[in-house]
Amino acid sequence: MRKTLPLLLLALLSMSTFAQGGRLTDGEFSRQFDAYIRAALEKTPDVPGLTIAVVRENKPIFIKSYGVADRATGLKANDETLFYIASSTKSYMALAAAILDREGKIKLSDPITKYARGLNFKNAIPDKVTVRDLLTHTSGLDNWPLTFRLAYSGDSGPDEMARLFAAATTYNDSAYGKYKYDNLGYNIYAILLRNYLNKDWREVLREKVFDPIGMKHTTAYLSQINAKHWPHAEGYVIDAETGSVIPAPIKKVDSNMQSAGGIYTTAADAARWLEVNMNDGRVDGKQVIPTDIIRAAHTGYTQTVRDAPPFVGNGEYGLGWQIGKYKEDKVIYHHGGFTGYRSHISFMPDKKIGVAVFVNNDFMGSRLADLFATYAYDALNGMPGLEAEYSKQLTDAIDQYGKSIVQMKAGAASRAARKSQLTMPLSAYVGSYKNEYFGTMDLSEKNGGLLLKMGVIELVPTAFTQKETVRVELVPGQGEVIKFNVENGKVVSLTYNNMVFTKG
């Protein structure tokens, strides 16, 4: 680390005059930003690759990619590499919903029950819950099995998801109208699209958003990426036991790409997306989305409080967009994160500066995504002392990353020292376990241990501290417990997330 610090300082100090007094030219900014990124990546080799777009006014002034998209093959990231953007998908989906509202197809002010006809709800949903409530996270609804299957296990056929929506959704009146961020509202909106209009959310995005804006390398289908041989970034995480970089444990496929987080895109297409949003629906000098629809998406409908950097404090949530401040400037943004990926999309509507950063790592990559985005804003806004401040921020981030790795490895070592609390031969636990909401969990023996499969999820359970339990991470990074239920010396079921799975 000490060997590379002078390189960073030299690169920054050599350009110090650019940030002092006066607006940076596009070329000056590009050289300065590229130097900072390269120096930062030299110090953070655990970040595989990333791609960045910066837009000022009505054109991209910086589009570049760094590192590798696939460590196994050595495929380098370039400006045609697609990155998964996770929850940043919501702003695209909400824009499509605003367009359908204008067309009178599904009105945002209508109760969701209007578009759920034919579905038999186990728990009643009041008519006051509107489509807009779904998209602003204020519906008061809850359905974890639905969001789990759509985002993680991928056991998500459309008919089954409609059944699950009706069977497992609950309503809490005390939560209605209060902002609570999750994927559910956008997942339900996709179900309503199919139920009422017989349209798949992916095709709606393509027809209403991607094609009009000219986003030619943006898709919600992994199958399309593979069929067209588009280069795309593989996701990477940090192995808790070794602290080394490994492939993400859950892969994205068509079945777990979902309307709250299901887009792959490039930096060039992200630049077009920023341009449209910053210029009231115009791109390449053409009006491709009506101005009032764009402005409606950027209107705050509920109050929020954000405590996650870089945009903290009181704000609002629009249609798929967070609305807040960075220093004294208004900023509109939506980030995304999933195991192995991090996305940052934001823009300053008054300054007409926008940034998109996509990284195929969700640990140190998350910190770098935000660091590079705010660097771009501060550089273009002429921040004094830019070099020293961002050298310090990078050093602090690296130090914290090192401490996190130490803590992670210590936690993994502690868990590895646990003794199995399973009291019977492994063969007694093998079998298929079914739950009407979560689906099927299959357990088999492999290499002297258990192997769990659930849709696209595959993992090895580890020991936990209580009798007849194991620890799993069906949601990566979140330790969860499975308890086997034994009657008369036989395993008859298991309990996960307070749900019973019956052994078949």
Domains with residue ranges and CATH for the chain: 5-93+202-405 (3.40.710.10), 94-201 (1.20.58), 426-503 (2.40.128.600)
d(Cα 153, Cα 174) in Å, to the nearest integer?
Answer: 30
Residue 124's pLDDT is what? 97
Residue 372's pLDDT is what? 98
Task: Using pLDDT thresholds of 50, 70 and 90, give the confidence band for residue 308.
Answer: confident
Residue 3's pLDDT is what? 38
- In this predicted structure, the answer to whether residue 2 has a pLDDT above a threshold of 50 is no
* pLDDT tens profile 419-440: 999 999 999 999 999 999 999 9
- In this predicted structure, the answer to whether residue 6 has a pLDDT above a threshold of 60 is no
- In this predicted structure, the answer to whether residue 11 has a pLDDT above a threshold of 90 is no
d(Cα 463, Cα 330) in Å, to the nearest integer?
Answer: 48
Residue 9's pLDDT is what? 43
Residue 22's pLDDT is what? 64
Residue 201's pLDDT is what? 98
3-state secondary structure 215-229: CCCCECCHHHHHHCC
* pLDDT tens profile 145-171: 999 999 999 999 999 999 999 999 999
- How much is the pTM? 0.94
Structure tokens at 387: 């070099």
Mean pLDDT of 437-444: 98
Mean pLDDT of all residues belonging to the chain: 95
Residue 83, beta-bridge partner list: 265
CA dihedral (219, 220, 224, 229) positive or negative: positive
3-state secondary structure at position 212: helix
- In this predicted structure, the answer to whether residue 16 has a pLDDT above a threshold of 70 is no
Mean pLDDT of 265-294: 98
* pLDDT tens profile 390-423: 999 999 999 999 999 999 999 999 999 999 999 9
Q: Assign residue 94 a region: left if phi > 0, alpha if psi is -120 to 50, beta otherwise?
A: alpha
- What is the percent of the chain with per-residue pLDDT over 90, rounded to a whole number? 94
Residue 23's pLDDT is what? 79
* pLDDT tens profile 212-234: 999 999 999 999 999 999 999 99
